[in-house]
Amino acid sequence: MNSTTVRRLLVRGMLAGLAAGVLALLVAYFLGEPQVDSAIAYEDAQTAGAGHDHGAAGHDHGAAEEEPLVSRDLQATGGLATGILVYGVAFGGLAALAYCYALGRIGRFTPRATALLLAVAGLVAVYVVPFLKYPANPPAVGADDSVGRRTTLYLLMLVLSVLLTVGAVILGQRLAPRLGNWNATVAAGAFLVLVVGLAFAFLPSVNEMPADFPATVVWKFRIAALAVQATLWTAFGLLFGELAERVLAPERRAAVREAAAQEAAAGDAVSPG
């Protein structure tokens, strides 16, 4: 693949990532933000209760607390939009580069099918697998002094998931000549499930959920987080697949249209009258 084609795909990947980010933003705003508000309300209630228990001294301390630099309203609108859209553009560019490398190496699929397969595999490897071990938590969950440890464990699980997924793909390709595509895919999938299960078993778990935190809020927040990522990856796969098809297969598309036109013309020629 020449550099001009790579650049064209990179630009289209960033545009597709931006469009997918807009859709993910809508999901995050309507599904995720209400749960964040509920979690913040719980945290405020806990803080107010602690201040009340400390009496007047606690009240004076609370009154002296500074206002946050960024208001909650701005966080839920402009901040959320900026974060997701910038992430979408960067994500789209990186995914487009990965697509350029994967095209033709994972099977004889069309550009559109390759984009969708890559998006599904990326969603599972980059988000779903780490999410199952270390799921997203709303605000007010987790101790401040354990943020570094939790972040390190999550990144470790993410790196392991990506490497193991790549390893499973390579294993499937190596086994295909001897076992056939179907059996090789099943064997590679079983290998991936096994090693991911071992990683889940040996990596330490993190459970810092307060005993009285509303379980419904946690559940809805995690579903919303998963929905945001699923929307982002799926929309990107569909949009970028169409754009990549137009870049990489214009001749094939033209040939299909020409064949359809010739078939229609032949049908008109043999029709009576």
pLDDT digits (tens, 9 = 90+) for 236-261: 999 999 999 988 876 556 556 776 77
Residues 6+ positions from 253 with CB-CB distance below 8 Å: 245, 246
Give CA–CA dist 95/109, Å, rounded: 17
Q: What phi, psi does 95 have (nearest 5°)? A: -65, -35
Q: pLDDT digit string (tens) for 99-158?
A: 998 887 777 788 889 999 999 999 999 999 999 999 888 876 766 667 788 889 999 999
Residues 6+ positions from 153 with CB-CB distance below 8 Å: 134, 203, 204, 206
Give CA–CA dist 236/84, Å, rounded: 13
Domain boundaries, the chain: 3-141+209-254
pTM for this prediction: 0.80
Q: pLDDT digit string (tens) for 77-102?
A: 788 889 999 999 999 999 999 999 88
Give CA–CA dist 218/209, Å, rounded: 9
